[in-house]
């Protein structure tokens, strides 16, 4: 190893120690600092499994059992605050992200973790985005801040299916806190957003897929919180054509209660987004390039028009405000591929709308790196506390990678700056087949 390489390695390790010491300051007990540093280091080191036992063997090969007990206590039993640690991660990493531009988006999403059996907290047969189908899995809801340089999860919470919230036995075995009640994914996300606003997180435009965008209450609540959004919606979502709105309440000529609800008629009714898209002239669509991909520039055809959402507006006394309807209709395809609703200002350009809508790709990259490189889905415990502690530690390690990327050339593996001990002779993790 050259002198320059040794200097770079020691500088990285010094920055990592400073970073970990900052995060460890909110753990509540000095005895947690050393295992906290070991655990985050283990997540950063190479290795097929980032569960407690294999990491203990890589980190302290001469004292595997003691290291295993220490790491297991930290992640599964110690009572430290996930929110406090994630807040410190945000404060520590934000300057590195903002050096490349202001925060522009808050990305809402959820991720599935396939699981066998039925004892891991929150596991159920449900849609798993990781597999693209219904499967036995856990699902976590996340909120991330993002700009063109990076995105960072600032909240991560397990979605607890209703069958779990109703079972006292399963809750007790998994250590689910008493205050945790059933909440839909959009409801969990809204609480994460409120907490972020209360913590003075730098605001951004809410970006979400149709699982959240289809929810009218979710969109309305985001607006009430003073935030803008651009969210994917399904093609059958109803809207009023540009320039149209529901009819005002019917005027009553005689005595009695005055009508207060908006109206529709057979001739004056909203249409689906798919219907409206088919009625737009070809000139309404323009080709937009939003970023460079790995092989070529990413581009497609888009149109944007001002419309009013129509869902349940006959239960309202005032018409909804106009929003942007963004439509992607690639050339040569029979029908549009995707639709978004957005409360970005009327002055927003088509390119700004497309760029913001497409910024959601970053969360997919986050999940991939958090799982494939840092072991987000490797935790083998079954408890509520362990699930969230492990995720927080993974996000903490990911935050350090984001902060360091500006100091390394593109393509440089930052994790190579960490020293790794060889595995002890004859080491075999639990569950591995014995050699014949």
Percent of the chain clearing pLDDT 90 (strictly above) = 78
Q: Give residue 257's pLDDT.
A: 75
Strands 205-208 and 133-146, by their bridges, are unpaired
Instruction: Determine the pLDDT at residue 339.
Output: 98
pLDDT tens for each residue of 370-417: 999 999 999 999 999 999 999 999 999 999 999 998 555 445 555 555
- Ranges of each domain in the chain: 3-206+364-417, 207-244+268-361
Q: Is the pLDDT of residue 436 over 80?
A: no
Least confident of 232-241, 310-319, 342-351, 386-395: 310-319
The answer for residues whose C-beta is within 8 angstroms of residue 384's C-beta and 6 or more apart is: 121, 122, 158, 174, 175, 176, 177, 180
Q: Regarding predicted confidence, which is higher, 210 or 250?
A: 210
- In this prediction, residue 252 has a pLDDT band, given cuts at 50, 70 and 90, of confident
CA 425 to chain centre: 40
A 10 A CB-CB count for 361 gives 15
Q: List 133's β-bridge partners, or say none.
A: 128
Q: 127 pLDDT exceeds 60?
A: yes
128-147 exposure pattern, b = at least 16 Cβ within 10 A, e = fewer: bbbeeeeebbbbbbbbbbbb
Give how far the C-alpha of residue 310 lies from the chain's centroid of Cα atoms, to the nearest Å. Answer: 28
pLDDT of 12-26, one tens digit each? 889 999 999 999 999
Mean pLDDT confidence for 143-150? 95
Position 8 scores a pLDDT of: 55
pLDDT at res. 394 = 97
What pLDDT is stored for residue 12 in this prediction?
87
Q: Answer whether residue 263 shows pLDDT above 70.
A: yes
Q: Give the model's confidence band at 435: pLDDT under 50 very low, under 70 low, under 90 confident, else very high.
A: very low
Rounded distance between C-alpha atoms, residue 32 and residue 80, angstroms:
9
Nearest Cα residue to 320 out of 253, 251, 223, 436 = 223
Q: How far apart are CA 426 and CA 419, in angstroms?
A: 21
pLDDT at 115 over 50: yes
Q: For residue range 186-195, list pLDDT tens digits in order.
A: 999 999 999 9
pLDDT, mean of residues 294-318: 92
Question: Which CATH number is 207-244+268-361's, of 3.90.350.10, 3.40.470.10, 1.20.120.160, 1.10.760.10?
Answer: 3.90.350.10
Return mean pLDDT, the chain: 90
Give a three-class secondary structure readout of the chain.
CCHHHHHHHHHHHHHHHHHHHHHHCCCCCHHHHHHHHHHHHHHHCCCCCCCHHHHHHHHCHHHHHHHHHHHHHHHHHCCCCHHHHHHHHHHHHHHHHHCCCCCCEEEEEEEEEECCCCCCCCCEEEEECCCCEEEEEEEEEEEEEECCCCEEEEEEEECCCHHHHCCHHHHHHHCCCCCCCCCCHHHHHHHHHHHHHHCCCCCCEEEECHHHHCCHHHHHHHHHCCCCEEEEECCCCEEECCCCCCECCCCCCCCCCCCCCCECCCCCCCEEHHHHHHHCCHHHCEEEEEEECCCCEEEEEEEEEEEEECCCHHHCCCCCCCEEEEEECCCCCCCCCEEEEECCCCCCCHHHHHHHHHHHHHHHHHHHHHHHCCCCCCCCCCCHHHHHHHHHHHHHHHHHHHHHHCCCCCCCCHHHHCCCCCCCCCCCCCCCCCCC
């Amino acid at each position: 190893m050259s002198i320059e390489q040794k200097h770079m390695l020691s500088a990285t390790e010094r920055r990592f120690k400073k970073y970990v010491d900052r995060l460890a300051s909110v753990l509540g007990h000095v005895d947690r600092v050393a295992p906290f540093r070991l655990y985050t280091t283990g997540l950063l080191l190479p290795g097929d499994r980032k569960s407690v036992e294999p990491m203990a063997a890589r980190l302290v090969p001469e004292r595997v059992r003691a290291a295993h007990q220490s790491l297991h206590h930290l992640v599964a039993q110690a009572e430290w605050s996930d929110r406090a640690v994630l807040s410190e991660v945000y404060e520590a990493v934000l300057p590195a992200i903002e050096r490349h531009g202001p925060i522009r988006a808050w990305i809402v999403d959820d991720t599935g973790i396939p699981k066998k059996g039925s004892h891991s907290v929150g596991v159920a047969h449900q849609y798993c985005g990781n597999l693209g189908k219904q499967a036995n899995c856990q699902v976590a809801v996340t909120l991330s801040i993002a700009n063109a340089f990076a995105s960072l999860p600032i909240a991560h919470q397990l979605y607890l299916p209703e069958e779990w919230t109703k079972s006292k036995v399963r809750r007790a075995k998994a250590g689910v806190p008493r205050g945790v009640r059933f909440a839909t994914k959009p409801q969990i996300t809204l609480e994460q957003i409120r907490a972020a606003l209360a913590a003075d997180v730098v605001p951004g435009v809410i970006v979400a897929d149709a699982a959240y965008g289809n929810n009218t209450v979710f969109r309305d609540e985001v607006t009430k919180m003073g935030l803008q959004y651009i969210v994917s919606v399904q093609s059958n979502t109803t809207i009023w054509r540009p320039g149209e709105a529901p009819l005002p309440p019917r005027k009553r000529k005689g005595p009695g209660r005055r009508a207060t609800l908006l109206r529709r008629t057979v001739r004056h009714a909203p249409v689906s987004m798919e219907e409206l898209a088919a009625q737009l002239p070809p000139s309404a669509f323009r080709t937009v390039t939003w970023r460079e991909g790995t092989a070529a520039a990413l581009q497609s055809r888009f149109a944007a028009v001002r419309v009013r959402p129509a869902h349940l507006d006959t239960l309202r006394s005032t018409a909804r405000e106009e929003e942007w309807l963004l439509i992607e209709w690639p050339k040569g395809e029979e029908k549009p591929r995707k639709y978004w609703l957005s409360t970005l200002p009327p002055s927003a350009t088509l390119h700004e709308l497309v760029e913001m809508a497409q910024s959601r790709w970053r969360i997919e990259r986050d999940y991939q790196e958090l799982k494939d490189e840092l072991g987000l889905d490797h935790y083998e415990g079954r408890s509520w506390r362990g699930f969230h502690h492990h995720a927080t530690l993974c996000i903490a390690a990911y935050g350090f990678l984001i902060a360091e990327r500006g100091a390394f050339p593109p393509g440089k593996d930052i994790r190579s700056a960490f020293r790794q001990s060889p595995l002890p002779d004859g080491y075999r993790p639990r569950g591995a087949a014995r050699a014949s």
